[in-house]
Chains A and B, each alone.
Chain A
């Protein structure tokens, strides 16, 4: 149980294009999902919190107009990197919060490697 998928796993795009990444909770419903970014040899950094049916909450320094988040259902959140540039190249990871009995646990997707040429 508690499986989170991401699609695509890898994407290469030209500078200026937009890229959409999907995050799905496969066997549980997640009212809250999170998007992280990880640069080489660094730890994960939280970008935004995605709430089903409402606007996402962005961390300080993350441009909401550049990283569009939509959480249209209890099992799907999407991150769209608009007008991508080489500095946006990174490993993007989503997580979904499973409201278990007593403790909430975040389960992570396998990640999406974005390379902007």
Chain B
């Protein structure tokens, strides 16, 4: 599985747009990029997943350049409740029928939103 690198922590303010970038230089052709959010004492919550270009859902956007060696999670107009740890993971999203790999979590990015 490709290794990912994210900033350890970030600070922002309510109402701002927050962009968290993740590097994954060794991403493989079949790998998808998935972002999770985790609050203390809770399981990670799926935010968004993509393979290339741009993906948008009701909570975030994911930007992936053509070389796919990095990705950026964009959170529009953050609020205090967005304070959490955000994990970027890269793995084989295409089901091969030969089993599945668990996810290798890095340290994640601790996002702190201030009033």
Contact = CB atoms under 8 A, between A and B. Distances in A.
Interface of A: 2, 4, 6, 32, 34, 36, 43-46, 48-49, 51, 57, 59, 91, 93-95, 97, 99, 102-111, 113
Interface string B69-100: 00000000000000000010000111100011
| Chain B interface bracket (under 10, 10 to 19, 20 to 34, 35 or more) | 20 to 34
A99 B49 CA distance: 14
A93 B49 CA distance: 20
Interface of B: 32, 34, 36, 41-46, 49, 51, 87, 92-95, 99-108
B71 to A, nearest CB: 14
A109 B51 contact: no
Contacts of A46: 102-105
Nearest to B96: A104
B12 to A, nearest CB: 21
Given A43-B107, A45-B105, A46-B103, A105 B34 contact: yes
B80 to A, nearest CB: 21
Contacts of A59: 102
